[in-house]
Structure 1
Amino acid sequence: MTTLSHGPSGSPGSHSSEEGDLVAGPAAPPPPGVRVRDLVVVYKTPLGELPALGGVGLTVDPGTITGIVGESGSGKSTLALSLLNAVQPPGRIASGSVEIDGLGDVVRLDGDPLRRARGRHLGYVFQAAQNSLNPLKTIGKQLLDLGRSHGVADLAALVRDAKDLLGRMGLDGARVLDSHQHELSGGMRQRVGIMLALVLNARLVILDEPTTALDMITQATILRIIREIHKERGLTTLMITHDMGVAAEVTDHLAVMYGGQVVEHGRTTEVLGSPAHPYTQGLIRAIPRLSGDITKASALPGRPPTLGTLPKQGCVFQERCPVRMDVCATVAPPPVTTHGRTVACHATAAAPPLDGRKEQP
């Protein structure tokens, strides 16, 4: 991701002398684009190394909010951690690249350059905020530790910016910074996680299930905060979620994952309004209804695959697909992009284009 300011060379490791300048102003670089290419992540198991991501390709446009949805085990969080080159043993990135504007291929970073990139370039909000907070230190002390580890010269400015961010999220900044995590509610801890991801002016922010286990009112507040801060700070944002309603409310683009693959990707309104992949259609049919014919909601048959039960060849969705063809058992469908929508499905590729027009070359 892009840093707050580059040195003359523009290399990821260079920093300006204004390390303490934490306000995103006119000089701040534009939001970065992200290009994931042929990304393979494997986990070591008693059965050998098994793929959690099987050659993922995904392009995230600068300045957008992109949602990544799918059932548990589809590879969403593994993909998110790969963007930080933070996959931990027994997992590893086996091949592929993650190109981020202003930072280069994150997969090739390690050591001190990678540590500097996290936080100052790449902000991450964990699914369970309390798991990323030190229970023995106040939030303020953890904030100062973060600033020192990234060489921030003006720690007082860092604290002021943190208080401002917390205040805009409806919290008493001074009180929160003086609190331990157990003194804060789940919604407050989640907002603290967002503050810590933004306070160093990261330009690419990744949110892993930011509304999980929150009540509806707090969830709505968190989503409003995400939208406002994304717009005001000019960010590129990725949101991992299993909630299609959350994705519909917040995101501009939507990537649907299944079995370690992106099976459909496009504008959120188009993906939800006219889903092309059978898995996306099944996810939408499974959403409970509060009005109309409530019997129309139907669960997807079968179970999501695990690392050990993924098909060795062919389409990853073949065992649960209602439109399975013979070719699906032997040949993995290549992603086909038509008018900005990418779908990996033999049945869709054999059908007419979604809008009736001829496919563009």
Structure 2
Amino acid sequence: MERHLTAPGVRIRGLTVVYNTPSGELPAVSGVDLTLAPGTITGVVGESGSGKSTLALSMLNAVQPPGRISAGSVEIDGLGDVVRLRGEELRRTRGRKVGYVFQAAQNSLNPLKTIGAQLLDLGRSHDVGDLRALVRDARELLGRMGMDGARVLDSRQHELSGGMRQRVGIMFALVLDARVVVLDEPTTALDMITQATILRIIREVHDERALTTLVITHDVGAVAEVADDLAVMYGGRVVEHGPVAEVLGAPEHPYTRGLIRAIPRLSGDLGLARALPGRPPTLGTLPAAGCVFRERCESSLDLCRTAEPVPAARAGRTVACHLPGPHAVPVKRKEYA
């Protein structure tokens, strides 16, 4: 099967996704700007309801009613703006050019068909000429993830454990040689050893196939293990973005610091871990003005109640916060042609 030698860049600009509610249309993602550099793995972390999965679905133009993409673009090298794709062109993009692993992998499997039959259906729907090669590639991917590929392809979903179904979902996202891969909680329902195996496979296949990868996760440890860059989301906004080691090693945004402080340690003083105060906002409780994090922030200013912070470059990363930080300068986006 053909391998792409050049990874694509992805540029998300001004992305806003709204959901129709009894109170009107409310934003789940609001004005997000995010660049995925070619050949990198970008992790996205944040609490439930922060907009991570909605952002990921937008990369396939797959937001379903009552939601819709109301503004912005998702430009992928070689594809153009995915938000503008429609009909057959959009269908062929999903899976073949942009692979996706859903958070609940079992929901994307047909319980009446074997995994192998679903693989062949996938190949035929995307006009794969050599179905035998497709099956060989699937067996190899499953084998590298610690499973008997032939046995799995002959199985139905109820014959597989939750962890095995999750790995089957990863195989489906990779087997058509997609250029961009989005993984929504790829290590959910897996034990620690299997998690480590999956993260290693994601990294290896990412490098071998020249992918650009987005990993959605609650697990900051998983991000530290596999990602190059890290985006932190809260209330539908990206509040901090930069190289993963720098963001985790010296977080600039109060929310990022709170997330890291809440991680329990395996050694040392367990009392050092502190949960974030309060609860994350819902669509109905997002403030109409000001900083979305202000009610839970220990360092909020009067300005935070009236003005939404504009993302600025600070020490090699982008931070959206009114608090002064080192070397704060206006953002200069790096574009990828």
- Report the TM-score when normalising by structure 1: 0.89
Structure 1 ranges of 4+ moved more than 6 A: 358-361
Within-5 A mapping of 1:154-303? 154-303=130-279
Match of 2:97 among 102, 121, 125: 121
- Amino acid corresponding to residue 267 of structure 1 in structure 2: P
Secondary structure of 1:143's counterpart equals: helix
CA distance in 1, matches of 2:260, 2:227: 16
CA distance in 2, matches of 1:359, 1:192: 44
1:353 correspondence with 2:316: no
Within-5 A mapping of 1:299-318? 299-318=275-294
Within-5 A mapping of 1:32-71? 32-71=8-47
Q: Deviation digits for residues 321-360 of structure 1, max 9, x if unmatched?
A: 111111111111000013430000000xx33328xxx889
Task: Tell me the equivalent position of 2:335.
Answer: none
1:92 correspondence with 2:29: no
Distance 1:78 1:56, change over 3 A: same
1:73 correspondence with 2:49: yes
Secondary structure of 2:155's counterpart equals: coil
CA distance in 2, matches of 1:247, 1:163: 27
- Amino acid corresponding to residue 101 of structure 2 in structure 1: V
Task: Tell me the equivalent position of 2:109.
Answer: 133
1:339–1:360 Cα contact (<8 Å) kept: no
How far apart are 1:271 and its partner, in Å?
0.2
1:333–1:346 Cα contact (<8 Å) kept: yes
Secondary structure of 1:346's counterpart equals: coil
Secondary structure of 1:79's counterpart equals: helix
CA distance in 2, matches of 1:351, 1:238: 27
RMSD between superposed Cα atoms in Å: 1.4
Secondary structure of 1:88's counterpart equals: coil
2:314–2:325 Cα contact (<8 Å) kept: no
- Amino acid corresponding to residue 167 of structure 1 in structure 2: G
Secondary structure of 2:48's counterpart equals: coil
Q: Deviation digits for residues 28-71 of structure 1, max 9, x if unmatched?
A: 24111111001000001111111000111100101011000000
1:206–1:238 Cα contact (<8 Å) kept: yes
1:353–1:359 Cα contact (<8 Å) kept: no
1:145 correspondence with 2:121: yes
1:339–1:359 Cα contact (<8 Å) kept: no
1:101 correspondence with 2:85: no
Secondary structure of 2:139's counterpart equals: helix
2:315–2:326 Cα contact (<8 Å) kept: no
How far apart are 1:206 and its partner, in Å?
0.5
- Amino acid corresponding to residue 267 of structure 2 in structure 1: S
Structure 1 unpaired stretches of 5+? 1-21
Higher mean C-alpha displacement, 106-115 vs 182-191: 182-191
Structure 2 unpaired stretches of 5+? 333-337
CA distance in 1, matches of 2:331, 2:61: 35
CA distance in 2, matches of 1:149, 1:229: 24
- Amino acid corresponding to residue 220 of structure 2 in structure 1: M
- Report the TM-score when normalising by structure 2: 0.96
Distance 1:133 1:359, change over 3 A: closer
How far apart are 1:290 and its partner, in Å?
1.8
Q: Deviation digits for residues 155-203 of structure 1, max 9, x if unmatched?
A: 1221122112222222221111110011112222111111111111101
